[in-house]
Amino acid sequence: MNTSFLKSTALALLAAGLSFSAAASNPANTNNTLYGVNFGTGSSYSTTFLGGVTANFNALVAVGPNNVAAKFSTKAGQGGYQGIGVSPFTGSERTPGEIDIGESIVGSFSSGIRVTSFSLGLLFDGPEYSDVNEVAKISVKFANNSVALFTLEATGVNTAIWSGSNGTVLNLSPASNALGGAWKVSNPFGNALVKSISFGAATGAKGSAGGAGTNQSDYTLISVSAVPEPETYALMLAGLAAIGVVARRKKRA
């Protein structure tokens, strides 16, 4: 086989793979991380990330048995962590700029992705604002079309419980007055590929604050990070293998 053809093919395959892997290796790179603050104030947000995966996010609010279009909204962040919430187009709302009971942010993807982490803010364990333990409700549709429901519950200033069998919870900012109540869940769904993900709110168990509280669950979506389907990395490996063939041929020559 022509050496120049091998070389050009190798470089093309490697470039295709690196366009994904370089972003996936850097958590701060916006090519593999979607930030809520970029969603704007409309009812939907669409972007391309991971080198070619289209992500569509929608703000929704429950009206009777149906979910209808709402709008993204923000409020002042705490502890340096800023996220996005939901507000209805009309009528009153429980907590402006947060995802409250009956509200949700739903993201769908043009191909399956592995969610490496997501981060939520303003999720408190209760005493800070005379409420109860707050619970984020995360519903996921996987690439095999199965659906699962998970929860993240704040149980203390620096502790929270993730209901999934996979996942590690990291406190990014203490759940204290004027601080972020910010949490990162890494590898929440293991290696399972995700087609869509919904962030909603649930009534929390009674916390140490006492009383019924007023907003049993309200929080913000800070970010979602992911990597593409495994086939993407096969391109990079194929490119590296082809370059190795070229190098060996040159050495023999």
| 61-118: pLDDT as tens digits | 998 889 999 999 999 889 999 999 999 998 778 788 999 999 999 999 999 999 999 9
Closest-CA residue to 133 (of 218, 220, 199): 218
Cut 0.85: pTM above it: no
Q: Residue 124 and residue 158: Cα distance in Å, rounded?
A: 10
DSSP bridge partners of 183: 120, 171
pLDDT in tens, 109-122: 999 999 999 999 99
Neighbours of 122 (CB within 10 A): 30
Lookup result for tokens 């060996």:
248
- When pLDDT is cut at 50, 70 and 90, the band that residue 213 belongs to is low
| Res. 186: pLDDT tops 50 | yes
Please give the full DSSP string across 48-116, using - where no structure is assigned.
EETTTEEEEEEEEEEETTEEEE-EEE----BTTB--BEEE-SSS--SSTTBB-TTEEEEEEEEEEEEEE
Q: What is the pLDDT of residue 31?
A: 85
- Local confidence band at 17 (pLDDT 50, 70, 90 cut-offs): very low
pLDDT band at 169 (very low <50, low <70, confident <90, very high): very high
Q: Secondary structure of the chain: what % helix, strand, coil (to 5)?
A: 20, 40, 40
Average pLDDT, the chain: 82
Q: Give SS3 for 201.
A: strand
* 8 A C-beta contact, residue 197 and residue 140: yes
pLDDT band at 6 (very low <50, low <70, confident <90, very high): very low
* Average pLDDT over every residue of 120-127: 91
Q: pLDDT tier at 59 (50, 70, 90 boundaries)?
A: very high
pLDDT at 244: 59
Q: How far apart are CA 202 and CA 62, in angstroms?
A: 13
